[in-house]
Amino acid sequence: MRATIYGGPGDITVGERPDPRLQHQTDAIVRVTLGCVCGSDLWYYRGVNPHALGPIGHEFIGIVEQTGAEVSTVRPGDLVVAPFTFCDGTCANCAAGWTGNCLNGGSFGNHGVDGGQGEYVRVPFADATLFAVPGRDHSDAVMKSLVALSDVMCTGHHAAVSAAVKPGDTVAVVGDGAVGLCAVIAAKRLGAERIIALSRNPARQALAEQFGATDIVSERGDDATKVIMDMTAGVGVDAALECVGTGQSMATAFGVARVGSIVGSVGVPHDAVVPIQTVIFRNIGLRGGVAPARRYIPDLLDDVVTGRINPGLVFDHETSLDGIHDAYTAMLERRATKSLVRISG
């Protein structure tokens, strides 16, 4: 099969990989229809975070081609969403709902598991991992939103759930990448009344507003904190969603969070420091991390299939598998918020 190969920093190509075969009776083989590029893939591309040489990509949807004898919840022909991590569904963490922290799981495109930026993927623990979407004849817009469920929409949702967003809340979303934009959707969906999106990019500002942002703040750092504190009568927001993972984004999130609230953080941390004095002296909590996407997909699916939420709109660039290098560089050069990769029909 043809698949994207990570050859080291800056080296993303399409090459040949062995066709995946069932290795365990709990495996399924999925033909990937749509994949995409994640912000975390860019960290690998830039050589900041390590990644094994070989297959890459962890967000995809596709059609089940083959299943092992012990697979019962999905069957050949099913349209499935793969969460970005596979999980056994039975370990202590999975049993507690933390499917992204499965003791026997891992991430696609890592540790010898096929990546989602290729034609086929062997999916371990298919019953626990894959989620079969009712029907196959969804619009292209819905299909894109289903890919978003693989990671970014669930990750944005995790930020909002971690920060305990509730009806009527004022929420600040720090970060206007795909995850931040999905966090706006999530906050709106959970009933937030006022959603303050931090962005200085006109296209992303517009999408944030389309997703439910009521206010846009284009300042950064201390200036952003000051503006948002002024907007909230000096009290701060009921929930701050940190969707970047840098020192500045963490400082901004803690700077605008009201006493007693929780910062929901889902950015991959790079030089992020938790201001412990603020935690203790303002009673501001911190929750978040790797989203338990498999747990969230069923909760979010109906809203996606009916079009009540449209996270697929974060894809503003498309390539074929052959265009994968452009898919990466478009995001790196900020020509794209997030790149969709059309792999098979």
Residues that bind its own copies (CB under 8 A): 92-93, 96-98, 100-101, 162, 233, 235, 245, 250, 258-260, 262, 265-269, 272-274, 276-277, 279-290, 292
Identify which of residues 66 and 107 has a Cβ nearer to its own copies in the complex.
Answer: 107
Q: Shortest distance, CB of residue 265 to its own copies, whole angstroms?
A: 7
88, 97, 112, 155, 297 from 102: Cα distances, Å? 7, 9, 17, 16, 16
Q: Shortest distance, CB of residue 273 to its own copies, whole angstroms?
A: 7
Task: Quote the CA–CA distance of 312 and 308 in Å, as a whole number.
Answer: 12
Q: Shortest distance, CB of residue 315 to its own copies, whole angstroms?
A: 25
Residue 282 CA, chain-centre distance (Å), reads 30
Q: Shortest distance, CB of residue 150 to its own copies, whole angstroms?
A: 18
Label the pairing between strands 170-174 and 237-242: parallel
Identify which of residues 132 and 274 has a Cβ nearer to its own copies in the complex.
Answer: 274
> Which backbone phi and psi does 123 adopt, to 5 degrees?
-105, 115
Q: Shortest distance, CB of residue 100 to its own copies, whole angstroms?
A: 7
Beta-bridge partners for 262: 239, 285
Amino acid at 237: V
Q: Shortest distance, CB of residue 179 to its own copies, whole angstroms?
A: 13
Task: Quote the CA–CA distance of 332 and 340 in Å, as a whole number.
Answer: 14
Identify which of residues 98 and 315 has a Cβ nearer to its own copies in the complex.
Answer: 98
Identify which of residues 35 and 292 has a Cβ nearer to its own copies in the complex.
Answer: 292
**Is the alpha carbon torsion for 105, 111, 116, 118 positive or negative?**
negative
Identify which of residues 97 and 298 has a Cβ nearer to its own copies in the complex.
Answer: 97
Identify which of residues 269 and 323 has a Cβ nearer to its own copies in the complex.
Answer: 269
Residue 88 CA, chain-centre distance (Å), reads 20
